[in-house]
Amino acid sequence: MIIGYTTGVFDMFHVGHLNLLRRARENCDKLIVGVSTDEVVREYKHHDPIVPFNERVEIVKAIRYADEVVPQTSMDKFAAWEKLHFNRLFHGNDWKGSAMYNEVEAKLRAVGVEVVYFEYTKGTSSTLLSERLRNG
């Protein structure tokens, strides 16, 4: 059985999020989705999400592609693997080649986990939606 794992903030859920979850689920037998806690978002994005954590979790749970939804309490994907024992990590290709993900890939490859990148959905993101809301 191939267990997949992907994570995200999933703030202001949009078609890019849906595309990631759909593609990930097509490439595994079970998909575990980590939703970033408000604290994690604050730590690496330096702002609060618009939609509170509990509501983002409920939205992701309602998507048929997510078999299990867990809190992402750390950006450490290896620590997530130690707890969840997934075989594949799915992510948008906007992170591919970054220093952080090169390290993630190396650590996970050493324990037999494949990192699979999907094309980032162009033209939509929670960041763009936030900017539009702020600027009217």
Among 10, 4, 25, residue whose Cα is nearest residue 72: 10
pLDDT tens digits for range 86-117? 999 999 888 788 888 899 999 999 999 999 99
Which pTM was predicted?
Answer: 0.88
Crossing angle, helix 99-109 and helix 77-84, to 10 degrees? Answer: 30
Portion of the chain with pLDDT greater than 70, in percent: 88
Number of structural domains (the chain) is 1
The boundaries of the domain holding residue 16 are 3-135
Question: Taking Cα atoms as reference points, which of 41, 13, 40, 6 lies closest to residue 118?
Answer: 6
pLDDT digit string (tens) for 33-45?
A: 999 999 999 998 8
CATH code, domain with 30: 3.40.50.620
77 vs 75: CA distance, rounded Å: 6
Instruction: Give the mean pLDDT of 8-27.
Output: 94
How far, in Å, CA of 45 to CA of 81, rounded? 23
Tens digit of each residue's pLDDT (9 = 90 or more) over 114-133: 999 998 766 665 555 556 55
User: Tell me: the pLDDT tens digits for 75-89?
Assistant: 999 999 999 999 999
| Rounded Cα gap, residues 65 and 84, in angstroms | 18
Residue 87 per-residue DSSP state: S
Structure tokens given for 39: 């604290």
- Cβ-based neighbours of 119, under 8 Å, separated by 6 or more: 92, 93
CA atoms within 13 A on the CB side of 69: 21
